Amino acid sequence: MARDPRIDRDAADIVGSWQDLCRFPTVAGDLDAIGQAADWIEERLAPLMDRVDRYEIPGYGPVVVGFRAGESDASLLLYNHYDVQPEGDPARWSSPPYAAEIRDGAMYARGACDDKADAAGRLASLRLWIEEHDGRTPFGLIYLADPCEEIGSPGLGDVLAAHARELRADACLWESYLREEDGRPAVGFGCRGSLEIELTLDILASAQHPSYSSILRSAPLELMAAVSSLRTADGRIAVAGVREKALVPDARAERRTADITLPGPSIARPGVTPHLPGTAAELATRFIFEPSISLSGFDLDEGVRQSIPASATARVRFGLVPGMEPEQIVDAVRAHLAELNPDVVLTVVRSIPPAFSPVESAFGDAVLRAAGSAFGAEPVVYDVMTGAGPGALFLEHLGAPIISPTGTLRPAGNMHGYDEHGYVEDFLDHVHFTLEVLRELERSGFADTARGGV
């Protein structure tokens, strides 16, 4: 990749800003850290924008939004979030999770790629693009930073509804996607939805001695059976009716999935196959179009290890593809569990509907051309971005189609895990690619004019 020479000239400052933002421990709900990071973003956004507003989400902090008018009425919205997942046990990090230490060419920090590489890197890209035009940009810009995406963006829908007129844009450049195992750029469209439920089984008034094991029911074993019943042996959702309205790929979409490289060697243990059963082609199609199920928690009372627990709780997460409605999935799972074990109680923790944006559109063509130009390689198309996010809120309130461009993350970057990291050179490429997207949109426009297809 031949980067814009100004990026290499300013690399120390650009990477330093990325590190600075990663040093704020912005776990969703930590209002002190969230507030400090919001101040940091606003301070750096203000010179680039006509105005910066803060829309407070009670209990979670401000949505920071910058507005810049352009020479035309068209506008592009850039969505980022600046909250992060909890860091877990700090002792399991090779360096402190908020030290943003660089070693062996990579920067290690919670949130390094998800999503502070976007929040910081796009500020650099915007500065360079504005500089190219002596301050007279050809279209308008809206930069939006969400304080609580990692917990489902509670309250964001109210913010978008209340400010829909001023936030309305022609297209939305979503938080970034990953690069393939082989380094090719990947571009995702729309995003999955997410449904997290909590299953609780209370059987005994209190924990009992294990000598009663031969005559008493076991809450954890029965709950394990209930959770296992939700999933087939090959990893699909086993609940009747869940898949009925899910998006089905047409022939063009299936051809696009053939280019996807499944993550494997970089994330697997030696000698252990990380993938579910199926051919590479089958798994690639499932990766994009198959709703998913995973276990996000299973809890017992730590004080009753030598007893029969009175209760157990599990958290199950579903990844939803376009066409699926969270409420219908909840109803189907309730019916399934009522037949299997009526004592299991289901509670919805959070839900986000999926968002669909067409691949074949003027906006999509522009982003894909920019990826090919920036990386010197044909981009890999994900018809549905495999990560979940509040994209449906943007479609509902703003009408802006969503594309997630290539970013800093690679499959082995440990997003949400210990030693999360991104490579410095990948981050600088990320800044260059965002600059190329802005240039391509200037050349070709980005109004979403879908031409059909999945």
SS3 103: strand
pLDDT band at 236 (very low <50, low <70, confident <90, very high): very high
| CB of 227 closer than 8 Å to CB of 295 | yes
Spell out the domain ranges in the chain: 5-189+357-448, 193-258+281-352
271: left (phi over 0), alpha (psi -120 to 50) or beta: left
Task: Give 102-117 pLDDT, tens digit per residue.
Answer: 999 999 999 999 999 9
DSSP character at residue 231: B
10 Å Cβ neighbour count for 425? 15
Task: Give 398-448 pLDDT, tens digit per residue.
Answer: 998 999 999 999 999 999 999 999 999 999 999 999 999 999 999 998 765
| CB of 361 closer than 8 Å to CB of 448 | yes
Residue 52 and residue 65: Cα distance in Å, rounded?
A: 6
Does position 385 have pLDDT exceeding 60, yes or no? yes
Residue 211 and residue 306: Cα distance in Å, rounded?
A: 10
Residue 450: predicted pLDDT: 40
* Span 193-258+281-352 CATH architecture: 2-Layer Sandwich (3.30)
Residue 290 and residue 243: Cα distance in Å, rounded?
A: 8
Task: Give 51-96 pLDDT, tens digit per residue.
Answer: 999 999 999 999 999 999 999 999 999 999 999 999 999 999 999 9
Residue 268: predicted pLDDT: 87
* pTM for this entry: 0.91
* Span 5-189+357-448 CATH architecture: 3-Layer(aba) Sandwich (3.40)
Does position 229 have pLDDT exceeding 90, yes or no? yes
193-258+281-352: same fold as 5-189+357-448?
no
| CB of 87 closer than 8 Å to CB of 25 | yes
Average pLDDT of the residues of the chain = 94
- Section 153-161 average pLDDT: 96
| CB of 219 closer than 8 Å to CB of 353 | no
Helix, strand and coil content of the chain, in percent to the nearest 5, comes to 35, 20, 40
Does position 206 have pLDDT exceeding 80, yes or no? yes
Chain mean position to CA 170: 22
Joined together, the tokens standing for residue 397 give 């309130």
